[in-house]
Chains A and B, each alone.
Chain A
Amino acid sequence: MMTPETDAENRSFATDLPVVEVHKLSKSFGARTALDNVSFSLPEGAFLSIFGPNGAGKTTLLRVISTLERPSSGAVRVFDLDLKEQPEAIREHIGFVSHRSLLYPDLTAEENLEFTARLYGMSDPARCATHMLATVELTARRHDLVRSFSRGMTQRLAIARALICDPHLVFLDEPYSGLDPHAVEILDELLATIRQRRSFIMVSHDLQKGFELSTHVLMLAKGRKELFAERSELAFESFANQYHAAVGMEVA
């Protein structure tokens, strides 16, 4: 019999099946509705940028799809696996980068990555850590505590942590938040190099950057879907106008 885990392993990640399928998803916290009847489908290899004002439900949507929150109603399938039934199988194939690093500040860069590699059952955790440190250009700081890192270095290490399990779907929750221009450049280069074979869902407040990076855009307001479209169908100006209209602001 095929277990959910082997099922996920044997699943081809280059099929025509959507990587994420969200159907009439709602999420409430007590009386407050954070997501209201949201539906969309994302193909393999897509880069979805989610936009919306504060409190629109962007981060909640990211947390639900990444299995951190349970949906109140509706259905979510990731890699054709049901989110409610097989969350552990989904977790094997996702990476998450937040505006927080999700790292241990009192462990070194190498220890953090080795720890994550062991949790995911990588065959050679030390080699994985070395490889990822080289990818994010932190080899020279491998023995330093994360607490001593700058914001940009910490964010690079956070990306290395998220990618160490070779995920097929990467969640980016405001990854540019608090970065200086040089760190933004480095992160841009890094994202460009890791885009192959992967799908991304990013929450961003930066309209220009989020739009440039995306293949698909989703706009939320008050927990509702205002727009879901392929980026190729949209011009940035008209998209920005729609965004500002949705959030009740005028374009400057």
Chain B
Amino acid sequence: MNSTRPSTFTQYRTLLAKDIRREFRTREMLTAMGIYAVLMLVVFGAALATTVAAFDILQMSGGLIWALIVFTSLLGLTRSFSYEKEEGALEALLLAPLDRSVIFLSKASSNLLFLAVVELIALPLFYFFFLTGSGLAPTFWMTLGPLIVGTVGIAGIGTLLATITMGTRGKDVLLAVLFIPLIFPLLYACVCATTVALLGSEMIMDTYVPSMALAIGYDVVMILVSWLLYDFVVSV
């Protein structure tokens, strides 16, 4: 049987398909993240139960949405490499003739996909629990921008950090300690952009555009750095 060196895209597709097949068979990450997101909504509901009448919840929604996304993604990221380590399958990937940045791209893509699936479930629930009857602004659709850019950044930066921490004893805590400070500029920009899009004032673009520029710039730089560092990080 002959072999020819497969293209980078073929290897990327093979790795991604493996992650998707495994996840949709076990539903390990999706179930954990989904349940966690719903529980966070319940906690938000309890926390806001007495303040809702006096306070415009729209003002807080941007922050709450991103708290939901960040903590849910942390849970998924810590699990994204656990099955690669279980029987040493990651070593088999490192022994294969492939550029190690392909492992990063495929793992970041699968993390992005799983986080997006959870957001597709959790965010409509958030709307249903907290925003129905709030009178959404016509700029509501603009929340899609920070949601996409923020989720891409979280998946990219989180994949690098999950790789760094996967072999450590206190990986759950260490990942959170590294992840939240590192994504803070992205998180801040996304919270601002999401909040102004939900509120929809006349001056929306004065905040939305610079916030999105910061978020996109931060994504590009950090994902590029992660991609370049990955060979070193995964080999250590």
Question: Which A residues lie at the B interface, using CB under 8 A?
Answer: 5, 66-68, 70, 88-89, 91-92, 94, 96, 98, 100-107, 111, 115-116, 118-124, 127-128, 131, 146, 161, 165-166
Tell me the minimal C-beta distance from A102 to chain B in angstroms: 4
Q: Is B1 within 8 A of A127, CB to CB?
A: yes
Give CA–CA (A56, B97) in the complex, Å: 29
Tell me the minimal C-beta distance from B27 to chain A in angstroms: 11
Tell me the minimal C-beta distance from A50 to chain B in angstroms: 18
Q: Is A119 within 8 A of B21, CB to CB?
A: no
- The reply to whether the CB of B4 lies closer than 8 angstroms to some CB of chain A is yes
Q: A5, A67, A102, A128: which contacts B87 (Cβ < 8 A)?
A: A102
Q: Is A101 within 8 A of B98, CB to CB?
A: no
Given contacts A66-B95, A104-B22, A121-B6, contact A131 B1 (CB under 8 A): yes
Report the nearest B residue to A171, measured CB to CB. Answer: B95
Given contacts A101-B87, A106-B22, A118-B10, contact A67 B95 (CB under 8 A): yes
- The reply to whether the CB of B26 lies closer than 8 angstroms to some CB of chain A is yes
* 10 further interface pairs, Cβ-Cβ under 8 Å (given A101-B88, A105-B86, A116-B96): A68-B91, A88-B98, A100-B87, A100-B91, A103-B87, A122-B1, A131-B1, A146-B87, A166-B1, A166-B3
Contacts of B96 in A (CB 8 A): 91, 116, 119-120
- The reply to whether the CB of B201 lies closer than 8 angstroms to some CB of chain A is no
Contacts of B22 in A (CB 8 A): 104, 106-107
Report the nearest A residue to B7, measured CB to CB. Answer: A121
Q: Is A121 within 8 A of B95, CB to CB?
A: no
Question: Which B residues lie at the A interface, using CB under 8 A?
Answer: 1-6, 10-11, 14-15, 18, 21-22, 25-26, 83, 86-89, 91-99, 235
Q: Is B18 within 8 A of A107, CB to CB?
A: yes
Contacts of B25 in A (CB 8 A): 106-107
Q: Considering the complex of A and B, which 5 residue pairs feature the smallest CB-CB distances, nearest first?
A: A121-B6, A100-B88, A102-B92, A91-B97, A118-B14
Contacts of A131 in B (CB 8 A): 1
Q: A67, A103, A123, A146: which contacts B4 (Cβ < 8 A)?
A: A123
Report the nearest B residue to A131, measured CB to CB. Answer: B1
Q: B3, B15, B21: which contacts A122 (Cβ < 8 A)?
A: B3
Q: Is B97 within 8 A of A103, CB to CB?
A: no
Number of A-B residue pairs having CB atoms within 8 Å of each other in the complex: 95
Q: Is A121 within 8 A of B87, CB to CB?
A: no
Tell me the minimal C-beta distance from B96 to chain A in angstroms: 5
Contacts of B3 in A (CB 8 A): 92, 120-123, 165-166
5 A-B interface contacts by CB (under 8 A): A101-B87, A102-B88, A121-B5, A122-B2, A123-B1
Tell me the minimal C-beta distance from B32 to chain A in angstroms: 15
Q: Is A98 within 8 A of B1, CB to CB?
A: no
Give CA–CA (A103, B25) in the complex, Å: 16
Contacts of A100 in B (CB 8 A): 87-88, 91
Contacts of A128 in B (CB 8 A): 1
Give CA–CA (A166, B83) in the complex, Å: 26
Give CA–CA (A66, B64) in the complex, Å: 48
Q: Is B6 within 8 A of A118, CB to CB?
A: yes
Contacts of A116 in B (CB 8 A): 92, 96
Tell me the minimal C-beta distance from A5 to chain B in angstroms: 6
Give CA–CA (A103, B21) in the complex, Å: 15
Q: Is A103 within 8 A of B95, CB to CB?
A: no
Given contacts A70-B235, A91-B95, contact A103 B1 (CB under 8 A): no
Given contacts A101-B88, A119-B6, contact A107 B21 (CB under 8 A): yes
Give CA–CA (A118, B4) in the complex, Å: 10
Contacts of B10 in A (CB 8 A): 118, 121
Q: B2, B91, B92: which contacts A123 (Cβ < 8 A)?
A: B2
Tell me the minimal C-beta distance from B82 to chain A in angstroms: 11
Q: Is A104 within 8 A of B88, CB to CB?
A: no
Q: Is B95 within 8 A of A106, CB to CB?
A: no
Contacts of B86 in A (CB 8 A): 105
Give CA–CA (A115, B21) in the complex, Å: 11
Contacts of B15 in A (CB 8 A): 119
Contacts of B2 in A (CB 8 A): 122-123
Contacts of A146 in B (CB 8 A): 87
Contacts of B14 in A (CB 8 A): 115, 118-119
Report the nearest A residue to B85, measured CB to CB. Answer: A100
Report the nearest A residue to B18, measured CB to CB. Answer: A115
Q: Is B91 within 8 A of A98, CB to CB?
A: yes
